[in-house]
Amino acid sequence: MAMASRQQRGTKLPPEVNRMLYIKNLPYKITTEEMYDIFGKFGAVRQIRVGNTPETRGTAFVVYEDIFDAKTACEHLSGFNVSNRYLVVLYYQATKAWKRMDTEKARVQLESVKSRYGIGGDLDKEKEKIGIHTPRRNN
């Protein structure tokens, strides 16, 4: 077993592989203890966060101590049946999550600026309301 572990560590991992897994399609009533039982078989688990809001129910994050344990768990538990539900196990991709958050944050900021200055909608219609007429080009 130690030999396989050393050979595994010498291999180059794909860039999406990391210690944090994102789990989808979990039973809503699964407990953290049950999650530790399932995912702890593949290595030392640092943390498990099970979703508890209406938007996050059925999902969880599992953080392993070792990246190779996370890789093994992802390979073996993807499609694993838990209470007649097949798990979807993915590597957490922080860049995708941050892009989604940044876009939402920018949209909120844009809406606040629009409401503060009373602008929005079609720019030409707004100009017509205040009496500015822009000549149109004919191409």
Classify each residue of 28-47 as buried b or exposed e, where b means 16 or more C-beta atoms within 10 Å of its C-beta.
eebeeebbeebbbebbebee
Question: Same domain, yes or no, for 8 and 73?
Answer: yes
Question: Same domain, yes or no, for 22 and 58?
Answer: yes
Give per-residue pLDDT as tens, 10-36.
677 766 788 999 999 999 999 999 999
Give per-residue pLDDT as tens, 41-57.
999 999 999 999 988 89
- Local structure of residue 89 (DSSP, 8 states): E
Distance between CA 7 and CA 109 in Å, rounded?
50
Question: Same domain, yes or no, for 8 and 65?
Answer: yes
Question: Same domain, yes or no, for 24 and 78?
Answer: yes
Question: Same domain, yes or no, for 38 and 13?
Answer: yes
Instruction: Enter the pTM of the model.
Output: 0.62
Q: How many domains does the chain have?
A: 2
Question: Same domain, yes or no, for 58 and 89?
Answer: yes
In a domain, 33, yes or no: yes
